[in-house]
Amino acid sequence: MTYLRNLIGACCIASLCFAITACSPKPEFKNIDITGGTAFGKDFSLLDPDGKVRTLADFRGKVVVMFFGYTQCPDVCPTTLTEMQQVMTLLGPQSDKVQVLFVTVDPERDTAAILKQYVPAFDARFLGLRPADQEALEQVTKDFKVYYKKVPGTSPGSYTMDHTAGSYAFDPNGNLRLYIKHAQGPETLAHDLKELLK
């Protein structure tokens, strides 16, 4: 009789848990939800401006927004970083739970010293990362399905870089959740990051 009572109790608890889970609202993202099943963007190994190797695990517990660009970019990159700075303002105290990472696709010119100066100029909490060498650049851009290509300029050092303009967002558990489209406005992005912080 006791066994039967325990079995019925366990079934009731399991049913209640299922009902609560089923009733939990699914996040309504304004960007592209790529939750689950993604065979890319699992991790990275990049250098910060102090030469320390950084991986996704270093930012566990925070929402991570990751953007690929270069410091001499004339439009997309400064626009994205400015927008992210505005997002941090909109998030208020929650912004301390968000880490913005700027990954250069131009390590030839974007030295550690330049990244250390350029990226935090938008927000002191933003972090610039660079691949250790060309092989590492090819690996991380392949892992995140990021396009980049050097476009020759009028002189050897005046080239530009074509590159993917979107960003990625990871939840606090390190799961890749969103592909963020370029230039949607800070309110839209702040909404999605709040959903990830819930």
Question: Could you tell me the two tokens for 119?
Answer: 């990226």
pLDDT at 61: 98
pLDDT at 102: 98
Q: Is a pLDDT exceeding 70 seen at residue 14?
A: no
182 assigned ligand-binding residue:
no
Q: How many CB atoms lie within 10 A of CB 47?
A: 18
pLDDT at 25: 67
Question: Could you tell me the two tokens for 56?
Answer: 């996704």
Over residues 8-35, mean pLDDT: 59
Q: How confident is the model at residue 36 (pLDDT cuts 50, 70, 90)?
A: confident
pLDDT at 27: 79
163 assigned ligand-binding residue:
yes
pLDDT tens for 41-85 read 999 999 999 999 999 999 999 999 999 999 999 999 999 999 999
Q: How far apart are CA 43 and CA 26, in angstroms?
A: 25
C-alpha distance from residue 26 to each of 22, 23, 161, 189 (Å):
9, 9, 38, 17
Structural domain boundaries of the chain?
27-197
8-12, 49-53, 89-93, 165-169 — which is least confidently predicted? 8-12
Pairing of strands 127-129, 98-104: parallel
- Give residues with Cβ within 8 angstroms of 115, minimum separation 6: 49, 71, 102, 104, 128, 129, 130
Question: Could you tell me the two tokens for 182?
Answer: 């370029």
pLDDT tens for 162-185 read 999 999 999 999 999 999 999 989
Task: Give domain 27-197's CATH number out of 3.90.1170.50, 3.10.20.30, 3.40.30.10, 3.40.50.880.
Answer: 3.40.30.10
Q: Is a pLDDT exceeding 60 seen at residue 15?
A: no
Q: Is a pLDDT exceeding 50 seen at residue 121?
A: yes
pLDDT at 157: 83
pLDDT at 39: 77
Q: Is a pLDDT exceeding 70 seen at residue 18?
A: no
pLDDT tens for 127-168 read 999 999 999 999 999 999 999 999 999 988 899 999 999 999
Q: How confident is the model at residue 8 (pLDDT cuts 50, 70, 90)?
A: very low
Among the listed residues 96, 71, 65, the one whose alpha carbon sits nearest the alpha carbon of residue 83: 65
Q: How far apart are CA 121 and CA 112, in angstroms?
A: 14
4-8, 69-73, 127-131, 186-190 — which is least confidently predicted? 4-8
